[in-house]
Amino acid sequence: MGDLTPFAPWLDRWGLAPDGEPFQTSYCKNWLIPVRRGDAPAMLKIAASDHEMAGARLMAWWDGDGAPRVLAIDGEALLMERIPAGRSLADMARDGGDDEAMRILSGVGDRLHAPRPRPLPGGLFPLASWFRALAPAAAAHGGVLDISLETAEALLADQRDVVVLHGDLHHNNVVDGGERGWLVIDPKGVLGERAYEYATTLCNPDAGLALAPGRLARQAGVTVYPVRGPGFDPGGADVPRWMAKIHCYHLDVQWETFIAHLRRGAATAAPHRPAQGTGRHHHGPGWCRWLRQDDAGGRAVPRRRHSYGSQDLRRRMGESRVRA
């Protein structure tokens, strides 16, 4: 058994027995360990940042509706139900089910954004804070980052339909909850415009798929639908603005095709519906990590994505056996 020091106070306080090896996520540096409380499998998470603690409070606020149930919470420590391993949205997307995976993600977003009859959780971060690294990056490197900064500032200054956001909704942060539908993990606790959540899904599950020719245009009717109201005008100013600015994340090569697709009749596309058994990646700072500046032409080109640890966490959510 690995080092239990990060977990010791809560293992004792909450009467938990280790039920697997502890591990640390590669990007956010959170500590997690599968545990049992009595006969019930659970996951103990020790947050490494204020965003992660805000996400834990948000999970408690969701109260099991669209996310694993929170069993206990204390400062940086979160005890949540452990979801058995099931289908993977990232694998689904890569195995020919890209549109279906996006419909599921959109349905998950709908469920999370639905109003709750209780006060908002405390300590949510404004969406603008998710872009704090953009201005110094634009000043240092210019190019596509200048365009991104100008666009982000305009959108953030005029947010509409502000809701509580997961903040990092992507394929590897959604787990198969069986009869309870698809459930999110690893929220960041953000407050901002609803369309942001859907726009970021288009940058996932990886750069190869996100940048595939025609992909953005093909998915316009899939992803745009949840945030366009009944009076949506696909050729006018009502095009959801966050998605209309996806070209700032190096998807600009498909921009004209995207608009043309909307004008040809995406407004008449059937509403997305979660797949049978489902319920009713990438966050702001991560977008720029997909880009590097080409030394020859000054054009932003894809770079290797960082590993954020979500896939490892999703897999381990389903582990239940004790390992020596």
Catalytic positions, written as ranges = 168
Decide if 178 contacts 277 (C-beta within 8 A). Answer: yes
Q: Two tokens at 23? A: 């591990």
| C-alpha to C-alpha distances, 135 to 8, 109, 146, 151, 158, nearest whole angstrom | 41, 28, 8, 12, 18
**Residue in 101, 135, 67 with CA at minimum distance from that of residue 284:** 135
Q: Two tokens at 137? A: 């990056």
**Total length of the chain:** 324
> What torsion do the CA atoms of 94, 186, 272, 97 make, to the nearest 10 degrees?
10
Class of residue 312 by CB neighbours under 10 A (exposed 0-12, middle 13-18, buried 19+)? middle
Q: Two tokens at 264? A: 């040809």
Q: At what angle do helices 194-201 and 98-113 cross, to 10 degrees?
A: 160
φ, ψ dihedrals at 124, nearest 5°? -70, 150
Decide if 22 contacts 4 (C-beta within 8 A). Answer: yes
Q: At what angle do helices 144-156 and 134-141 cross, to 10 degrees?
A: 150
Bridge partners of 34, per DSSP, are: 43
